[in-house]
Amino acid sequence: MESSDISSGLESCHESSYSSESISLADNKEDSNRSNQRIDNSDVTSLAQTISIPDNSNSSIPCTKHGVVIKSEKGTTSKKFKPELDKILVEWIIDDLQPISLVTSQKFIKFINYLDSSYQVPCRSKIDYLIDEYFEKGIQKKKEMISQIKNKFHFTSEIWTSNSQDPYISITSDYASNMIKAFNRFKRQYETEGIILIHLRCFAHILHLMVLAFLKDKSVTDLVSKLRMVVKKIKKKSLKSDLKALCVLNREPELSVKLDVKTRWNSTFEIINCSLKIKKSISDLCLKQEFGLMTFNLNNQEWLSLSYVEQFLEPFKKATLDLSSESLTFSHFYPIMEYLKKHLNKSLAKREFVAFKSGIEKSIDKFNKYWKEAERFALLTHILDPRFKLSLIETSKKSAAKQVLKETFDSFSLLNESETSTVGQNEIDRYFCTPVISYHTDTIVWWSTSVKDFPILSKIAFEY
């Protein structure tokens, strides 16, 4: 720390509203040696504005291990600093998700008073008011920002930040039905103004509903419930060590089967997958009379049926992991959902899945219900991704995909009143004739540099 910075800082501290505060610097070398932190140059001015240094180095004020103690007399805080300190406190509570009840904690108040006894921590009702005020100001800023957007803009049901640290606005709800009602209300309101809204649900949640429809079917429920009961008994009777010993004898992996969770269907897949890997050890454990599990033992046909359930659920497991990837974009959804659609139709025709036909049909119904709402949008985002274009589209569906893009292009041309259908067709053909780009290329950057080559398509791409 430069001596000139210290001098200027000390000179300014006497003009501060905190002039009644004092600081004592410890002469004790042992205390100084224990100090592992340094005051950065940038902090000197702010520190000096809130403290003053007494000339008497033999001050009776006790020093901390940092060699500095801040002390002030109650009631000396300037009124102009109080709102600013309150604002900082509220921002900390909001940004770090701190409980509002924190301000009523005696230990927290004692800690703050030790730092500055002149600052009075706001009461609970005051904090509630300040948070509401902070929220209203934030809403107003968002409204002003949205009012400046000329084209379409998207809301998402997640709060996340891109790799480039760009924040995305989100609308969240504590209950799915409330979200649907809110969207329908928005849709009716904006349709009167000629604005079309598209509701794109959380795809991971759609997968969850599809799998639950299958798992709740009686043919599947009875089977999984029996396995779940075996696992519960093993845990309740503390037979984990006995099970692992049998795994060693049977040369099976030493796995600990965990119970599934109702709100996470993947956990049901895991309990089936794990149990199948050590099924002989589980059966041997159930057959031991001293454990009293013989009535819960699964026969060979039941184990075989569980393996079929695992086969059916595995593609959904993979899709869920893909949807949870950090590098995922909306353009990935179309091939993922088309893959699941094909899997559902094939499963319905497989002989080994006959026993679960009603469950598979229920899963297909859920798929059709939600996918039809987003299929066209997902298709456009996929083929407008220069990393994919038509490369992952089935040959029989490529012509229809091009037609969807052509229709969207024509609607954009009418809005811009600048392009004809012929020019549009040439632009679309040129786009599909160019080779796909590297998977790791930033698609936003690619479209930004291709605006001159594809003036209308680039506008569509930015909105989709």
Among the residue ranges 235-239, 376-380, 455-459, the one predicted with the least confidence is 235-239
More confident residue, 432 or 57: 432
Among residues 278, 266, 338, 337, which one has the least CA distance to residue 303? 278
Q: Which of the four pLDDT bands, split at 50, 70 and 90, describes residue 147? A: confident
Q: What is the DSSP string of 275-301?
A: HHHTHHHHHHHHH-GGGT-GGG---HH
All residues at 6 or more sequence positions from 425 whose CB lies less than 8 Å from its CB, including other chains: 406
pLDDT of residue 314: 94
Least confident of 19-23, 121-125, 177-181, 253-257: 19-23
Q: Cβ(192)–Cβ(344) under 8 Å?
A: no
DSSP annotation of 224: H
Report which of 396, 404, 422 is spatially closest to residue 464, judged by C-alpha positions: 404
pLDDT tens-digit series, residues 97-131 = 899 888 999 999 999 888 888 888 999 999 999 99
Average pLDDT over residues 220-241: 88
421 close to 413: Cβ distance less than 8 angstroms: yes
**Distance separating alpha carbons of residues 235 and 232, to the nearest angstrom:** 5
* Token pair of 81 as six digits: 């600093």
Alpha carbon distance 234, 282 (integer Å)? 9
CA-to-CA dists, residue 16 to 4, 12, 22, 61, angstroms: 19, 7, 12, 21
Which residue carries 């001596």 as its tokens?
A: 3
Distance CA 58, CA 267 (A): 66
How many Cα atoms are found within 13 Å in the side-chain-facing hemisphere of 14? Answer: 7
Burial of 47 (0-12, 13-18, 19+ CB in 10 A): middle
CA pair distance 287, 296, nearest whole angstrom: 9
Q: Which of 75, 124, 130 is nearest to 102 (CA)?
A: 124
**Which residues does residue 454 pair with via DSSP β-bridges, in sequence order?**
none
Predicted local distance difference test score (pLDDT) of residue 272: 92
Bridge partners of 264, per DSSP, are 261
- Checking if the pLDDT of 181 tops 70, the result is yes
Please report which helix (H) or strand (E) contains residue 70, including its range: strand 70-71
Report pLDDT digits (tens) over 347-367.
Answer: 999 998 999 999 999 999 999
The pLDDT value given to residue 425? 58
Whether 383 shows a pLDDT value over 90: the answer reads yes
| Nearest-angstrom CA–CA distance, 131 and 87 | 9
CA atoms of 308 and 320, how far apart (whole Å): 19
The answer to whether residues 10 and 48 touch, using CB atoms and an 8 Å cutoff, is yes
342 SS3 class: helix
If you average pLDDT over every residue of the chain, what do you get?
77
CB-CB neighbours of 2 under 10 Å: 9
Query: Confidence band (pLDDT; 50, 70, 90) for 18?
Result: very low
| pLDDT-derived band at 415, boundaries 50, 70, 90 | low
CA distance 401 to 329: 19
Which amino acid would we find at residue 132?
Answer: D
pLDDT given for residue 295 in this prediction: 86
377 within 8 A of 464, measured Cβ to Cβ: yes
Query: Can you give the pTM of this predicted structure?
Result: 0.59
Give strand ranges (E) for 406-453: none
What is the per-residue pLDDT for 97? 87
Q: Domain limits of the chain? A: 3-71, 82-146, 205-372, 384-463
Nearest Cα neighbor of 6 from 18, 23, 20, 27 is 23
Q: Please say if the pLDDT value at position 190 is more than 50.
A: yes
Q: Tell me the two tokens of residue 179.
A: 């979200």
pLDDT over 50 (residue 15): no
